[in-house]
Copies of this chain bind each other. A is one copy, B any other.
């Protein structure tokens, strides 16, 4: 087994006072077993997004510290920004990256939610894969009404938080915590300038209008290239693979005599999601992730018995 690595991408409602952002981010610095990968602040959104990975336990502790710092520094009664938000710590996803499962991420989300609610009297909703009912899966539904509407919303028994009191934290509002699979931002460029065709194809591929369960998609027009694009978020590549979305788009595009010019992955993508596609297109039989040389080297199992046939320089 590999060292378990969890990822978290907490969103904080502070994107202008960068001194305070640094104080929040400090929770992920210099901690054994925790690695800060990225953070960025958007002044228009008045929001910062942090990305860190690490040992689940150590990462949970760091998140808990960051939540405490954020609650002490951010006053939501004075917060304004273009991005929807309901709390100082708006949302904390936990994402299994390596050697751990979505169930491990869910357990960590619940543990952090319980501790944060107790320490700070913070109401917390479990969302995505941790959601306790289907209405709470979608963050947008939980956040509807935003910070200003939360006091009223929490009065409704249907919206009793999963942890903490049924009333907002005076300056910190409400937080959503949950496990989710890594998002993959995957865009497919079409040999047409018609946004309408891209829109039609997007509707065929996305969950909400009858397509694949874990695909969100819209059609857009790329001014600089004069072409249309199907822009997607793949929310669980383990159930809806990249190649499957691509091939469905190819199939539907044929109806219009449109072909695929290319595609792009924006930002990071889990290795496994690309291996799935290589395995599909190469029609590999009995392929094991442990056959990937880098994976074999990086694994921590101390096992010397990697499958090495065919590489003996005998030929």
Enumerate chain A interface residues (CB-CB to B < 8 A).
Answer: 5, 7, 9, 11, 35-40, 45, 49, 51, 53, 83, 91, 93, 97-98, 139, 182-183, 185, 189, 216, 233, 242-243, 246, 260-271, 274-275, 277-278, 280-287, 291-298, 304-315
Contacts and interface: CB of A to CB of B under 8 A. Distances in A.
| Central interface residue in A5, A233, A269, by most chain B CB within 10 Å | A269
A20 to B, nearest CB: 18
Contacts of A216: 315
A83 B284 CA distance: 30
**Which 4 A-B residue pairings sit nearest by Cβ, starting from the closest?**
A185-B310, A281-B281, A266-B310, A274-B278
A109 to B, nearest CB: 13
11 contacts: A7-B293, A38-B304, A51-B306, A51-B311, A98-B297, A182-B311, A183-B313, A268-B311, A274-B274, A277-B277, A281-B281
A96 to B, nearest CB: 11
Nearest to A280: B281
Contacts of A243: 281-282
A37 B294 contact: no
A306 B262 contact: no
A294 B233 contact: no
Nearest to A28: B304
A310 B284 CA distance: 30
A92 B4 CA distance: 35
Contacts of A307: 266-268
Of A139, A306, A310, A314, chain B has the most CB atoms within 10 Å of the CB of A310
A9 B313 contact: yes
Contacts of A310: 183, 185, 233, 266-267
A295 B183 CA distance: 17
Contacts of A285: 189, 262-264
A65 to B, nearest CB: 18
Contacts of A98: 294, 297
Given A264-B284, A265-B291, A277-B277, 4 more contacts: A51-B311, A185-B309, A264-B286, A266-B310
Contacts of A292: 268-271, 274
Given A98-B294, A281-B277, A292-B274, A308 B40 contact: yes
Contacts of A294: 97-98, 270-271, 295, 298
B269 A139 contact: no
* Residue from A39, A233, A292, A307 whose CB has the most chain B CB atoms within 10 Å: A292
